[in-house]
Amino acid sequence: MKSHYETNRQNWNERTPIHVRSRFYDLDGLRAGRNALLPIERAELGEVAGKSLLHLQCHIGDDTLSWARLGAQVTGVDFSDEAISVACGLRDELGLEARFICPNIYDLPDVLEEEFDIVFTSYGVLCWLHDVPRWAEIAASYVKPGGHFYLAEFHPLAVSVCDNGVEGETFRMTFPYFPQPEPVYCEPGPTYTDGESTTRTGTYEWPYSLGQVVTALCDAGLRIEFLHEHPCSAYPILPGMRKDDDGLWWRETNDLPLMFSIRARKDA
């Protein structure tokens, strides 16, 4: 898997400057006080002031720093050194307390030996993981007894039809739903942000299913408190969606789960 992960890391290094200048990430708004978090995760995680929070796959750290602005003691992790460099620069520019480190998530136990009140990850994280059960074990190992793990992610059903998958009201499967041992190779191209800039490097991505994720978290010793499915999305995952004032994207007919969220607890 090392070659796959190195390809993906290079792709994310190429994405980072595109994302920094994009309207999608709106870093000028972040500098002006905007909170990058969406209402779903803020409502479902609740009060974070004074709590330690580990953010897995944090990218450029805008969400991590938004949790810091809400009073959390934050640590962000991402495998892209370019993204972590941007995150550190934003931290210093905004004068916030935050720690950022740059291992592959599967190597995180080699460099971090702590427990946190909250382990958080969100939106577009699972497709980069070849071993969801091992990811769940690692994530659970960082949750303090009595603490929480929280995931907000694109629904695998929506992911499986998102690539030009809607023709009128007919859905066409373009990406596998069920996990597979081999990844799907995606050619270089534009990222999910606005603009026409493209990467030079492709990506390797792995399908995941809802059942696989829930089972992995349970097997890792976490107790599921809720699993919610949402008819809205953090970005326009399907054609023809509209954006509300709260930053969430909706279809005209709310008949398809576009995201899901899980909160799980490690019992004391």
Query: Which domains are delineated in the chain?
Result: 29-177+213-265 (3.40.50.150)
Q: What is the pLDDT of residue 169?
A: 59
End-to-end CA distance of the chain: 35
With 80 as the cut, is the pLDDT of residue 190 above it?
yes
Does 56 score more than 80 pLDDT?
A: yes
Can you tell me the mean pLDDT for 76-89? 98
Q: 74: which strand partners?
A: 53, 98
For residue 5, which phi and psi values (nearest 5 degrees)?
Answer: -70, -35
Q: What is the pLDDT of residue 165?
A: 46
DSSP H or E segment with residue 219:
helix 210-219
Task: Return the structure tokens found at 21.
Answer: 């200048």
pLDDT for 163 equals 62
E strand or H helix that includes residue 19: helix 2-20
- pLDDT tens digits along 141-187: 999 999 999 999 999 999 998 765 444 556 778 889 999 989 999 99
- Residue 44 is encoded by which pair of tokens? 């479902």
> Does the reported pTM lie above 0.85?
yes
Q: Which helix (H) or strand (E) holds 229?
A: strand 223-230
38: exposed, middle or buried (Cβ count in 10 Å: 0-12, 13-18, 19+): buried
What is the bridge-based pairing of β-strands 232-233 and 143-154? Answer: unpaired
Give the per-residue pLDDT at 240: 83
Distance of CA 133 to the CA centre of its chain: 17
Q: What is the pLDDT of residues 194-250, one digit of tens each?
A: 777 889 999 999 999 999 999 999 999 999 999 999 999 999 988 889 999 989 999
At position 110, the amino acid (one-letter code) is: D
259 alpha carbon, distance to own chain's centre: 11
